[in-house]
Chains A and B, each alone.
Chain A
Amino acid sequence: MDSSFEQVIVGSDEFPGDAELSLLETLDHVLNRGLVIAGEITISVADVDLIFVGLNVLVSSVETAHEVLRERQQQSLPTSELAERPGD
């Protein structure tokens, strides 16, 4: 059934049906939105637009999308485990 309404949960551990959409929306949020506080390094808005357009093309390459989405599946480390990691 082709529904006219679709709810894509992107913020949870479940993998949404449309992985490409999830990736694009994440990129849009992180690269284009969010508060801009003038840190000591800044990225120009024009640059980000170009990056984002480029990413749209890139994301249609399924391989790359999967590579990036694998990052999404990284589990959070319980703090107790962190304490046992070798020091820097």
Chain B
Amino acid sequence: MSESVPITSEQNKYPSGDGYYVYCIAETISAEEIVVDSIPAAIEEGADLELITRDKLTAIASRVPMSIFGEEALAERLSNAAWTAIRAMRHEQVVEHFAKQTSVVPLRFGTIYLDRSGVEQMLSDQKEQLTAIIVKLQGREEWGVNVYCDRDALLENITSVSARLREMAAAAKQASPGESYLRQKKIDALRADEAKVEIERAIGEIERKLTARSDGVTKLRILTVETTEHGDLKAKFAFLVLKVEFEHFRFAAEELARQMETAGIRIELTGPWPAYNFAAP
């Protein structure tokens, strides 16, 4: 009696064999030196870190089971937030391990090749672009700048913070009692608008002044409204900063924060990060 084994959809969904998960790319010489000392943990338990080299460029990678990282299997796992968060953290650990010591091109999560030759081919095909990025990021790191506003604090102080309202308040003082009352009413009506104006002005000033202290800037879109103890998140930037210039950058940020404190504006610096936001050619 012959038994045929039906090919179930399960088997198609979860292919066997391994693929290569790539974290980042660096110059071969540097990558080889770094792994002599220590190697970070890989994206999946049981996996190792490997260097896949093509001439002067090396991809930092891990061999991973396609039963987990194949297209459909991965898409399913990604719907599990905890699973995803843990893999993302591991990815970051690897990139940081190398980025601390050399210029790397950080890759986004989920770059997977079916075999080594695919990775080598990529390193060859993208040689110019990758080299240019590595050079661009040399000696630099990314710093995040988050700008929050405590709206209550701002509204409380807005008549002194806003130049326009200050003028109007001065004029109201000079006027007769009746006139003064009307002028004051007008000032009150404008407070919310002026608060808006002030926030935009402050964000613009922060961007300008910190850009002057950096090598690159990008304004990031805010995906979800974030309200924290510091207020509402109003703007989010990433700056590319020369490591040797960071103290100047930080000083400028501190100074801005001091100046804008009465306006309820709070500046938060996060980093240093590998330059994820500046990894495009």
A contact residues, total (Cβ < 8 Å) = 54
Q: Is the CB of B92 within 8 A of A29?
A: yes
> Contact between A68 and B82 (Cβ–Cβ < 8 Å)?
yes
Q: What is the interface size of chain B, counting residues whose CB is below 8 A from a CB of the partner?
A: 73
Task: Please determine whether B112 and A35 come into contact, CB atoms closer than 8 angstroms.
Answer: no
Please, which residues of chain A bring their CB within 8 A of the CB of B122? Answer: 37, 39
- Whether B113 contacts A67 by the Cβ 8 Å rule is no
Query: Contacts A29-B92, A72-B93 given: A34-B250 contact, CB under 8 Å?
Result: no
- Give the residue name and chain of the B residue nearest to A69 (CB): B89
- Does B84 contact A55, Cβ atoms closer than 8 Å? yes
Complex Cα distance, B108 from A49, in Å, reads 13
Q: Is the pair A33, B108 in contact by a Cβ cutoff of 8 Å?
A: yes
Given A6-B269, A76-B40, also A71-B82 (CB < 8 A): no
Q: Is the Cβ of A71 less than 8 Å from the Cβ of B90?
A: yes
- Chain B residue nearest in CB terms to A85: B48
Q: Is the CB of B269 within 8 A of A34?
A: no
B41 within 8 A of A: yes
How far is the CB of B119 from the nearest CB of chain A, in Å?
9
Whether A62 sits at the interface, judged by CB under 8 Å, is no
Whether B88 contacts A30 by the Cβ 8 Å rule is: yes
Residue contacts A-B, CB under 8 angstroms, 19 given: A5-B254, A5-B269, A11-B272, A21-B270, A26-B89, A29-B106, A30-B91, A33-B108, A34-B107, A35-B279, A39-B113, A40-B118, A41-B19, A41-B110, A47-B78, A48-B109, A51-B81, A68-B82, A72-B93
Given A34-B107, A56-B224, A58-B85, 7 more A-B residue pairs with CB atoms under 8 Å apart are A33-B279, A34-B108, A37-B22, A41-B71, A74-B40, A77-B39, A79-B39
